[in-house]
Amino acid sequence: MNTRSYLKTLAISAGLLTSSLHAQVYDLTEQSFDNPEFRAYFAESYVAKSETNPNITAEEKGLFDEIVPLIGSDPKAAIARLESSVGPDSSAAFDYILGNLYYQEGQTKKSVASYQTAIKKFPNYAQAYYNMGRAFVAENDYQNALKGLQKSLSIETGDGTMYGLIGYCYLNMDMPSTALDAYKVAIMLAPDSKDWKLGQLQCLIALERSQEAIGLLYEFIKAEPNKADWWKLQANQFLAVNERSKAAANLTVVKDLGKADGPSLALLGDLFVNEGLVEPAVDSYTEAMKLGGARPARIIEVVNSLIYMDQLGNAKTLLSNLESVMSAQLTESQEMSVLNVKARLAMQEDDTDGAAGFLATLVKKDPLNGGALLSLSELEKKRGDLAKAEYYAENATKLKGYSHQAYIALAQLNVGKRDYAAAAKYLREAQQIDPKDYVADYLLRIEQAALRM
């Protein structure tokens, strides 16, 4: 395996960046009374628009004229007046207005009940179905919300908000494909709505249509170039289609904006390692550790990969940074892994005494540490003491998770002694534990060599 292929098997193990957009369906920021445009839009729903809205009698006109000014100036007084005046025989319009007032005051359960009363009195009440759907959305009751919205749509033509809310319901019901169809109509009717574009984006991500999501995110980035979330989300989608260099470029922008967090820096480190940019990777991992976004186990894994790449200086720097920044967070197992890595580094630098010291400390702490035993076996082999090398490898064969590698080490030691029969025996033991094609090929060559003896 060449170095670049090896890197691709190790890099990006941190996975995709987490985001609230992934974790749950986004909040409807535009459909809130905190939004002045929504308040104005909702106010229009008090006005009867067509034959799909009930009339009021001449006798009720006085109550209506009394209530209308209070809707904007004193909604609580309007509610009190309607609660004392509306009855079974009054116009459905008053139940609807009361429902609206409850809704804008945050009393969504009462608003639903008032809308339902209005609908019983006037079954063709499109706007009551519509606003009841809104209230159910506020209650996170998406199935009933969908029924109300679709019933309204069956009575009269819907607007962009109607289709957007329908899409939002389907998305919350884990039906992203159907939701996407609704969002497309919503965006066509309300092209400036960020809520519906966010919904469309989440559908595309859920459906793994990453290229389309990338294109849509370019629009978000163009509109808000300083918002780190868009760059991060697009980096995720670049990763999904294996465009790692573009993902790295996005995360570099996030870093340059001063908005990088620990996980994004850790992922950027992975991406840099994958591209062979080791020094920037070490810097990113170190910053990630300082921000609490790096996992010690992952850093140890990267250090091991850097040793494999013969990047010993950078491996030592990253390991030193791990110990200085995260030493208090290391588990006992991770502390022993660090000792093992230090021993590997020492062996790579031909510091056999240093390696022996680290491994001795490690075995003293954990006599059954398979990794340490195998490293000691390798060290003694390098020193020329094959008896000790075999002793440590034999001990490692008794440990689950290390026996396969230990038997291969014993086979290699016996090949060095030209004892091909013993080597073949150990390789067969390894194959019984975990059959590998490369071991089978090695075994075949050893058996052929034994026949020539």
State the Rg of the chain over Cα: 34
pLDDT tier for residue 197 given thresholds of 50, 70 and 90? very high
Report, as an integer, the average pLDDT of 249-269.
94
SS3 content of the chain, % helix, strand, coil (to 5): 75, 0, 25
pLDDT tier for residue 6 given thresholds of 50, 70 and 90? very low
CATH superfamily label, 31-139: Tetratricopeptide repeat domain (1.25.40.10)
- Angstrom CA distances, 162 to 73, 101, 202, 378, stand at 28, 20, 18, 70
pLDDT tier for residue 51 given thresholds of 50, 70 and 90? low
Cα gap 406→412, rounded to integer Å: 10
Dihedral Cα 359, 365, 369, 375, nearest 10 deg: 0
Cα gap 12→266, rounded to integer Å: 9
% of the chain at pLDDT higher than 90: 59
Cα gap 250→238, rounded to integer Å: 9
Report, as an integer, the average pLDDT of 51-59.
78
CB burial readout 217-249, b (16+ within 10 A) else e: beebbeeeeeebbbbbbbbbbbbbeebbebbbe
Cα gap 147→213, rounded to integer Å: 29
Q: Which residue has the higher pLDDT, 378 or 316?
A: 316
Q: Which residue has the higher pLDDT, 450 or 15?
A: 450
pLDDT digits (tens, 9 = 90+) for 132-150: 999 999 999 999 999 999 9
Cα gap 248→255, rounded to integer Å: 10
Cα gap 404→309, rounded to integer Å: 24
Beta carbons of 194 and 161 less than 8 angstroms apart? no
Classify burial at 162, counting beta carbons within 10 Å of its beta carbon; exposed 0-12, middle 13-18, buried 19 or more: buried
DSSP code at position 360 = H
Measured over the CA atoms of residue 339, residue 340, residue 341 and residue 344, the dihedral's sign is: positive
Cα gap 218→224, rounded to integer Å: 10
CATH 1.10.150 fits 331-391, yes or no: no
Q: Which residues have a Cβ under 8 Å from the Cβ of 89 and sit 6 or more positions away?
A: none
pLDDT digits (tens, 9 = 90+) for 101-120: 999 899 999 999 999 999 99
Q: Which tokens go with 342?
A: 């230090």
CB atoms within 10 A of CB 4: 11
Q: Which residues have a Cβ under 8 Å from the Cβ of 222 and sit 6 or more positions away?
A: none
Cα gap 370→337, rounded to integer Å: 11
pLDDT digits (tens, 9 = 90+) for 87-100: 998 999 999 999 99
Cα gap 395→407, rounded to integer Å: 10
Classify burial at 114, counting beta carbons within 10 Å of its beta carbon; exposed 0-12, middle 13-18, buried 19 or more: buried
Mean pLDDT value across the chain: 87
pLDDT digits (tens, 9 = 90+) for 386-441: 998 999 899 999 998 899 999 999 999 999 888 999 999 999 999 899 888 888 98
